[in-house]
């Protein structure tokens, strides 16, 4: 393969880098930057799945770089990037929780993140990265303390291990570093995620195709559809990321949920209400998920609130309604 390495000359420009920028949360962050009038954005991603291009088609960006070329730049002083990078939103990762290739997972989510972290520290560039609530496993306490962290899969472990690496660096930072432990994010631009897309996305499709929605029967002591998660609308995730980039004095690892769990039944009922039709049925809980399923999550948001973020979050009813307005607009 021929690598076309570009030279950048952007002296004085405001430039952001968004890894995973063609993905779900990354493309929403680019959209959020665009709403602020910021278009000097370099998107880094892997478009082997070419369907993700639709997440970029309506966005204004400065350039697109494949993730392998991006790594080449990080490791080469000759190539590099412009001197005045305003900030990096590191959202790129393998996020398939059912993937058990640990070597691949650690290369993508751990080694790659370390290389980018050190580049940002060397250049004094603010570095915001995506962690995950999966580091907590089954909980039941979801607070940013090591005693509560026990991932259930290798994806969660890769995020946990990078958080641990960052914790060891916090006392000697040269610039802002923030890890955000995303809880159950849903909203526009997630259609490429397939089985990993949100329950709201799948229920909307089920209702349109079959006139009904399906949820799992009860498990872990919860009734049918009463398993509870902290569902957070992607617009809130973007707001927090942009707020943090504007508050460079804030560093650390923070939960990012709403702080209030709601049931899967709440999501289903919000979908049914939006469509004004349909029914709800329950299906047997899959054997392969038993013992590896988060039946309850609820972010302890006290650390982010104490850091100064005071905006309210969408609840399920508000967020699902807004999402379905977007999802069913075409």
Q: Which residues are catalytic?
A: 155, 193
Find residue 178's DSSP bridge partners: 128, 252
Coil vs helix vs strand at 254: strand
DSSP notation for 209-237: HHSEEEEEPP-TT--TT--EE-EEEHHHH
Find residue 19's DSSP bridge partners: 44, 90
CB 17 within 8 A of CB 81: yes
> Rounded to an integer, what is the distance from CA 173 to the centroid of its chain?
24
CB 252 within 8 A of CB 178: yes
Distance (Å, whole) CA 202 – CA 119: 39
The secondary structure of residue 312, as a DSSP letter, is -
Nearest Cα residue to 283 out of 236, 225, 207: 225
Torsion of the alpha carbons at 138, 140, 144 and 145, rounded to the nearest 10 = -100
Torsion of the alpha carbons at 219, 221, 225 and 229, rounded to the nearest 10 = -100
CB 185 within 8 A of CB 198: yes
Q: How far apart are the first and last CA of the chain?
A: 38
Distance (Å, whole) CA 27 – CA 45: 10
Rg (Cα) of the chain, in Å, rounded? Answer: 20
What is the CB-side half-sphere exposure of residue 71 using CA atoms within 13 A? Answer: 13
Nearest Cα residue to 5 out of 116, 81, 56: 81
């Amino acid at each position: 393969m021929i690598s076309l390495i570009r030279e950048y000359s952007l002296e004085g420009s405001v430039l952001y880098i968004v890894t995973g920028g063609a993905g779900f949360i990354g493309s929403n962050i680019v959209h959020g930057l665009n709403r602020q009038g910021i278009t000097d954005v370099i998107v880094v991603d892997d478009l082997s799945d070419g369907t993700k291009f639709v997440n970029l088609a309506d966005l204004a960006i400065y350039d697109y770089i494949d993730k392998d070329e991006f790594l080449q730049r990080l490791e080469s002083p000759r190539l590099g990037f412009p001197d005045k990078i305003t900030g990096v939103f590191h959202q790129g990762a393998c996020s398939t929780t059912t993937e058990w290739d640990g070597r691949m997972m650690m290369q993508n989510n751990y080694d790659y993140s370390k290389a980018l972290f050190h580049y940002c520290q060397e250049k004094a560039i603010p570095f915001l990265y995506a962690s995950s609530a999966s580091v907590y496993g089954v909980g039941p306490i979801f607070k940013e303390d090591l005693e509560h962290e026990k991932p259930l899969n290798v994806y969660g472990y890769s995020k946990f291990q990078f958080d641990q690496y960052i914790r060891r660096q916090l006392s000697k930072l040269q610039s802002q570093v923030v890890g955000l432990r995303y809880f159950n994010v849903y909203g526009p631009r997630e259609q490429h995620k397939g089985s990993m897309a949100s329950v709201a996305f799948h229920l909307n499709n089920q209702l349109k195709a079959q006139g009904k929605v399906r949820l799992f029967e009860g498990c872990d002591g919860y009734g049918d559809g009463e398993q509870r998660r902290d569902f957070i609308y992607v617009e809130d995730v973007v707001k927090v990321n942009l707020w943090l980039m504007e508050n460079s004095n804030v560093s650390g690892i923070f939960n990012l949920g709403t702080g209030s769990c709601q049931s899967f039944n709440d999501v289903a009922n919000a979908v049914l209400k939006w469509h004004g039709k349909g029914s709800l049925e329950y299906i047997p809980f899959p054997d392969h998920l038993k013992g590896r399923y988060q039946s309850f999550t609820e972010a302890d948001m006290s650390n982010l609130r104490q850091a100064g973020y005071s905006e309210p979050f969408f609840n399920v009813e508000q967020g699902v309604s807004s999402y379905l307005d977007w999802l069913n607009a075409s």
